[in-house]
Amino acid sequence: MATSVNPPRGMRDFLPAEKARRERVLAVIRDRYAAHGFDEIETPVMEDSSRLHAGLGGDNEKLAFGVLKRALTTDDLRAAESALDLADLGLRFDLTVPLARFYASHRAELPGVFRSVQIAPVWRAERPQKGRYRQFVQCDIDIIGEATALAEVELIGATLDTLVALGLEGCTIRINDRRLLLGMLEVFGFAADEHDGVLITLDKLDKLGVEGVVAELRERGCTTAGVDAAEAFLTRPMTKEFLPFGEAAIRKALPAGVPEEAVLGLAAIGDALGASESLVFDPFLVRGMGYYTGTIFEIHHPDFSFSLGGGGRYDGMIGRFLGSDVPAAGFSIGFERIVDLVSLDATDAADAVALLHEGAPLPQLAALKRALVAEGRRVRLERKPKKVAPLLDALAADGFGAFAFVREDTTPESLELKPLG
Amino acid sequence: MATSVNPPRGMRDFLPAEKARRERVLAVIRDRYAAHGFDEIETPVMEDSSRLHAGLGGDNEKLAFGVLKRALTTDDLRAAESALDLADLGLRFDLTVPLARFYASHRAELPGVFRSVQIAPVWRAERPQKGRYRQFVQCDIDIIGEATALAEVELIGATLDTLVALGLEGCTIRINDRRLLLGMLEVFGFAADEHDGVLITLDKLDKLGVEGVVAELRERGCTTAGVDAAEAFLTRPMTKEFLPFGEAAIRKALPAGVPEEAVLGLAAIGDALGASESLVFDPFLVRGMGYYTGTIFEIHHPDFSFSLGGGGRYDGMIGRFLGSDVPAAGFSIGFERIVDLVSLDATDAADAVALLHEGAPLPQLAALKRALVAEGRRVRLERKPKKVAPLLDALAADGFGAFAFVREDTTPESLELKPLG
C-alpha cells in the first residue's frame, strides 16, 4: 500500500469538472445566505484538543482526528497513558464547536445579533462506507443572540430560498420542538430517565413503523403504561385536516398537556413564514444531537429516505465557552448529499476558447492568447493531435464553446473562431 | 491556558469583513487563472505520511503536522520507536506534493498538457513569528506535460495579468535558470560538492551585499580560486545597457561558458512575453527548493524586501510517484503576503439594506425581508437601539448602502429606503 497514489482512505480528489460543479453549487448557497443577511466567517481547521473533547460534540467527539504534539521524545511516548495525551490539537468534526469558540473569542467585535455562515470541510475518522466520507463540506448558518422565533424564521426562510435557487423544488422542511417531544413523553407516562432511550427508538419511526417502535420500546423495558399510551396515540385515527401548518394543526397532532409555550412558538414560526406546502409539522421528528433545547428542523425530499440537512435551537451551547447563557439557533445543509442532486450548467461556455496549434512560435502563441484573454475570454492552448474530433469532444465537455486553428500566418485579427459542441 | 478561547497558536479566525476581503482577492485570482486556461482541482488536506516524508518537500517535511493513527493501544505507544510511528497521515505542508500524488492517480483522466490551479490552505508546525502562520493559503498554478518554454510563458503571463488585476502595479518578475547558476559556479571553479553551500550564501546577496557574500564564502572554506573569480565577477563594472530583458542582455550579465541551451531558453521566454519593465533577468536569483531543474522566477515589489511569490521548472518531481519522467513547471502567489496589499472594495453596497425594527410582529418582518430579498437585495434585520447613529456607522462599515425604519404600518410597498454612509 506504500505505493498507492490514491488519496487517503475515505477522502477524495476533485478533478476540474467536479470541482467546478461543486464551486457553482457553493456560489449559489453563498449568494442566498448573503442575501438573507448572514456573514461568512472562517476558523482554523484545528482546535485545541481540550475544546474538541469538551462534551459539545456528542458521539462525534470520538471521531476527531488527533494531531500529534511536536518534538515528542521517546520518553513522552513511554509516559503517555493514552494516545490522547500525545495530541494537543485535533481536526474539527463539525462547525458548531469552532463557532462557539469563535463567538467566545470575538463577541465584542460582533453585532448584538450575529448571523454567521460557515462553509468549510470537517473531518471524522469514521469507518468509510458508501456515501460517507472522512473529509466533507458542511454549510452552516447560525443566529446567535436572538431569543425569539425571529431566528427560526430567518434560518428557515434563508434555507427554503436556497433550496429553490438550487432547483431542489419539492423539498419539505419538517419542524418540531424538543420541548413538545419531551412533553409528549411525560404525558404518555415515561419516567424522565427513560426519555433519551425512548427518543432513540422514536427516531426510527420512518424505518420501523409503529409496530416496530412499540416492540422496541417494550424490549427496552420502558414503563408499560407509557408504551401503551404511546401505542394508542400512534395508532389513533388520523385526519389530514390539520394541514396547513398552524396552531390548530399543531394542537390536533399532539396529545393534550404538552407545553403551551412551545405550541405557540411553533405556530408563530408558521404564521411568519406564511402557509406553504414546504413546511410540515412532524411531532415525531427527534434529531440526534443532545444539545437542542427548542425547535428542531430537517430537510426532506420525496426521492430520498435520508434528510438533506437539519438544525434547531441550542440555547445552552454557545455560552459554554463563555460562562454565560447565549441564545442560538442554526441550520445546516448537507452539502455532500445535495451537490449530486443539483445540476447547474456552466454559463460561460461561449467565452471559453481553445487554440489548436502545431508547435507555433512562442511569441505568436503568447500574442494570440493575450489578445483573447484581454477580450474577457478563457483560453486554453492545445497541441493539435492527429485526430481532432476526440479533442473537440473533450473540450466541449470541459465547457469550451469555441475553438480556432493557429496557422503560420494567424494573427489576433485574423483568428477564426468556430463554435464547439 | 485550558480556558483560552483563542484559535490555536499561529492560526487565525477571520471575521466577516476580513473574510469577505480575502474572498474578493481570491475571486480575482481565480478569474484570471481561469481566463488563462488553468483548471482548479482539490485534494484532501491530509496525505499518507509516507508521501509527505518522501523527500520532495525539503526542509518543510520536518514541519508536517502528524495525524495520530486511530484506536492506538498503550502497547502501541510503548512499542513506538518515534512519534512518526504513531502517525499514518499528515497535514500537507505545500500543494506540490499533493499535486504530484494527484497527477499520478488521475493522469489517464487529464489532458495531455494539464494546467492546474490549487487554492487551498497548507499547514506548517513552525515557531510562530510576525507574518508567519501555521495555517495559510497557497495559490499555485502548474503546467504538467509541457517540456518547452511555452509552460513558462503561460505561467508568467497568467501571473503578471493577475498582479495587474489585483492593482499591484510596479511588481517585477525576476527570472533565472538553475542551469545558468550551476554553470556559473563551474565557470568560477567551485567543486560540484560545494555548489549547494555556495548557492545558500549567494541567495543572501540582497541582504549581505557583495562583500558579505564573499566573506561568507571564504568562511565556508570554499575553493579559493572560485571565491576570487566570484568576487571579480560580482565587482566588475556593470552597465545598465543590458536591459531590456533579452538574449543580448542575458549574455552580458553572465560569465562566458554557461550552458547555451539555458541562455536561449530564457531569451525565448523574454521574446514571447514581449519587452516589458515587469520582467528582469536576475543572474543571482537562487530560490530555496532543491527540486528546481531549470527556470526559476520570483515576484518582487519595490516596497518590500521579501518576494511576493515564486516558482520554476521542476521536471524531476511529478514523475517520482509515477516512476516516469514528466516535465512540469509552476508558479505560486504568496497569498498571505499580497492580501494585505490589495484593496478591492465591495461593489454591492447599494444593494445591501438594513431594516431597523422595534420588535415588530414576525409576519411583518418576514414579509418585508422576503420582498427585498426577492428584489435581489441583501437584507439584515436589526433591532433599533436607543442611539441609532453608531449602528448606522457600523452598517456602513459592513458594506450596507441603505437602511429603513420598520413602523407598525410599514409594508413592502411603503418601505422608505434611506442611503447610508
Q: CA quadruple A75, A76, A78, A79: dihedral positive or negative?
A: positive
- Give B67's contacts (C-beta < 8 A, 6+ positions apart): A65, A66, A67, A68, A91, B46, B49, B87, B88, B89, B90, B91
How far from B283 is each of B98, B150, B175, B182, B271, CA to CA, in Å?
Answer: 31, 21, 8, 11, 18
Chain A from 368 to 387: CB within 8 A of any B CB: 369-370, 373, 376-383
What is B8-171+301-344's CATH topology? BirA Bifunctional Protein; domain 2 (3.30.930)
CA distance A176 to A294: 8
**β-strands B378-383, B352-357 pairing:** parallel
Rounded to whole angstroms, the Cα distance separating A151 from B339 reads 34
The CA distance from A304 to the nearest CA of chain B, in Å, is 28
User: Is B37 within 8 Å of A87 when comparing Cβ atoms?
Assistant: no
**Is A362 in contact with B12 (Cβ distance < 8 A)?**
no
Q: What is the pLDDT of residues A375-389, one digit of tens each?
A: 989 999 999 999 999
- A153 to chain B: closest CA residue: B366
Identify the pLDDT of residue B2. 42
Distance, CA of B142 to CA of B98 (rounded, Å):
12
Q: Does B37 touch chain A (CB under 8 A)?
A: yes
B369 neighbourhood in chain A, CB within 8 Å: 36-37, 154, 157
Give the pLDDT confidence of B262-281 residue by residue, as tens digits. Answer: 999 999 999 998 877 889 89
Quote the cell numbers at residue A370: 493575450
Q: Does a cis peptide bond (omega within 30 degrees of 0) precede residue B244?
A: yes
pLDDT at B76 over 60: yes
The answer to whether the CB of A175 falls within 8 A of the CB of A280 is yes
Q: What is the CA radius of gyration of chain B?
A: 27
Q: How many CB atoms lie within 10 A of CB B162?
A: 25
A205 touches chain B (CB under 8 A): no
- ipTM surpasses cut 0.85: yes
Q: Among A22, A84, A86, pick the best mutation site for testing chain B contact (most B Cβ within 10 A).
A: A86
Nearest-angstrom CA–CA distance, A259 and A261: 6
Question: Residue length, chain B?
Answer: 421
- Cell numbers 427585498: residue: B372
Contact B44 A8 (CB under 8 A): yes
Smallest CA–CA distance from B370 into chain A, residue? A157
Contacts of A327 (CB under 8 A, 6+ apart): A144, A145, A146, A147, A151, A313, A315
CB interface of A with B, residues 226-255, below 8 Å: none
Q: Which of A299, A290, A419 is nearest to A351 (CA)?
A: A419
CB-based burial label for A228 (10 Å; 0-12, 13-18, 19+): middle
C-alpha cell at A154: 430567518
The answer to whether B178 and B292 have CB atoms below 8 angstroms apart is yes
* Residue A120 touches chain B, beta carbons under 8 Å: no
**Inter-chain CB proximity B362 and A149 less than 8 Å:** yes
Q: Rounded distance, CA A122 to CA A92, Å?
A: 6
Please give the pLDDT value at position A338. 93
d(CA A31, CA B212): 55
- Please, which residues have CB within 8 angstroms of residue B402's CB and are 6 or more apart in sequence? B350, B352, B353, B354, B417, B418, B419, B420
Rounded CA-CA distance B294/A377 in Å is 31
Phi, psi of B82 (to 5 degrees): -155, 165
- Is there a contact between A378 and B35 if contact means CB atoms under 8 Å apart? yes
- CA of B318: which chain A residue's CA is closest? A5
Identify whether the C-beta of residue A161 lies closer than 8 Å to the C-beta of residue A32: yes
B77 and A80 within 8 Å at the Cβ level: the answer is: yes
Give the rounded percent of residues in chain B with a pLDDT score beyond 70: 96
Question: Is B273 at the interface with chain A, CB within 8 A?
Answer: yes
Identify all chain A residues contacting B274, using CB atoms and an 8 Å cutoff. Answer: 363, 366-367
β partners of residue B378:
B352
Q: At what angle do helices A178-188 and A195-202 cross, to 10 degrees?
A: 110
For the beta carbon of residue B141, count every other beta carbon within 10 angstroms.
Answer: 28
Size of interface A-B (CB pairs under 8 A): 266
Name the stretches of chain A with pLDDT < 50: 1-2
Scan for cell 425569539, then name that residue.
Answer: A148
Asked whether B297 and B156 are in contact (CB, 8 A), the reply is yes
CA B304 to centroid of chain Cα atoms: 16
CB within 8 Å: A89 and B65: yes
Residue B337 has pLDDT above 70, yes or no: yes
What's the full length of chain A, in residues? 421
Q: The pTM is what?
A: 0.92
Is B205 at the interface with chain A, CB within 8 A? no
Buried residues in A358-389 as b, exposed as e (16+ CB within 10 A): eebebebbbbbbbebbeeebbbbbbbeeeeee
Name the minimum distance, in Å, from the CA of B13 to any CA of chain A: 5
User: Among residues 143-202 of chain A, which lie with CB inside 8 Å of chain B?
Assistant: 148-150, 153-154, 157, 161
Interface test with B, best of A119, A150, A160 (most B CBs within 10 A): A150
Chain A hits for B382, CB-CB cut-off 8 Å, are 111, 113
Per-residue pLDDT at A1? 37
| Closest chain A residue by Cα to residue B126 | A70
| A172: amino acid identity, one letter | T
Higher pLDDT, B412 or A319: B412
Interface contact A390, partner B, CB < 8 A: no
Q: What is the 3-state secondary structure (H, E, C) of chain B?
A: CCCCCCCCCCCCCECHHHHHHHHHHHHHHHHHHHHCCCEECECCCEEEHHHHCCCCCHHHHHHCCEEECCCCCHHHHHHCCCHHHHEEEEECCCCHHHHHHHHHHHHHHCCCCEEEEEEEEEECCCCCECCECCEEEEEEEEEECCCCCHHHHHHHHHHHHHHHHCCCCCCEEEEEEHHHHHHHHHHHCCCHHHHHHHHHHHCCHHHHHHHHHHHHHHHCCCCHHHHHHHHHHHCCCCCHHHCCCCHHHHHHHCCCCCCHHHHHHHHHHHHHHCCCCCEEECCCCCCCCCCCCCEEEEEECCCCCCCCEEEEECCCCHHHHCCCCCCEEEEEECHHHHCCCCCCCCCCHHHEEEEEECCCCHHHHHHHHHHHHHCCCEEEEEECCCCHHHHHHHHHHCCCCEEEECCCCCCCCCCCCEECC
Count Cβ atoms below 10 Å from residue A203 Cβ, excluding itself. 16
- Min Cα distance A215 → chain B (Å) is 35
Sign of the alpha-carbon dihedral angle for B23, B25, B26, B31 = positive
**Could you tell me which residues are beta bridge partners of residue A122?**
A136
CA distances from A166 to A172, B131, B233 (A): 14, 40, 65
B74 to A67: CB separation less than 8 angstroms, yes or no: no
Radius of gyration of chain A (CA): 27
Q: In angstroms, rounded to a whole number, what is the distance separating the alpha carbons of residues B46 and A9?
A: 10
Predicted confidence at residue B1, as pLDDT, reads 37
Cα distance from B173 to chain A (closest Cα, Å)? 17
Look at residues B72, B101, B98 and name the one whose alpha carbon lies nearest to residue B87: B72
pLDDT of residue B242: 54
Query: Rounded CA gap, B80 and B86, in Å?
Result: 7
Q: Helix crossing, A150-165 with A260-273: angle to 10°?
A: 40
pLDDT of residue A410: 95
pLDDT greater at residue B92 or residue A239:
B92
User: How far, in Å, CA of B22 to CA of A236, rounded?
Assistant: 57
Buried b / exposed e over A63-78, threshold 16 CB at 10 Å, is: bbbbbbbeebeeeebe
Side chain identity at residue A43, one-letter code: T
- List chain B domain ranges: 8-171+301-344, 179-277, 350-419
- For residue A348, the model assigns a pLDDT of 63
pLDDT attached to residue A2: 43
Contact between residue B61 and residue B291 where contact means Cβ atoms under 8 Å apart: no
Say if B70 is an interface residue toward chain A (CB within 8 Å). Answer: yes
The verdict on a CB contact (< 8 Å) between B366 and A82 is no
Q: Which of A339, A380, A384, A391 to mutate against chain B (most B CBs within 10 Å)?
A: A380
Measured CA distances, A78 to A66, A83, B76, B82, B83 (Å) = 18, 11, 10, 10, 11
User: What pLDDT is attached to residue B349?
Assistant: 65
Please state the separation of Cα A279 from the chain's center in Å. Answer: 19
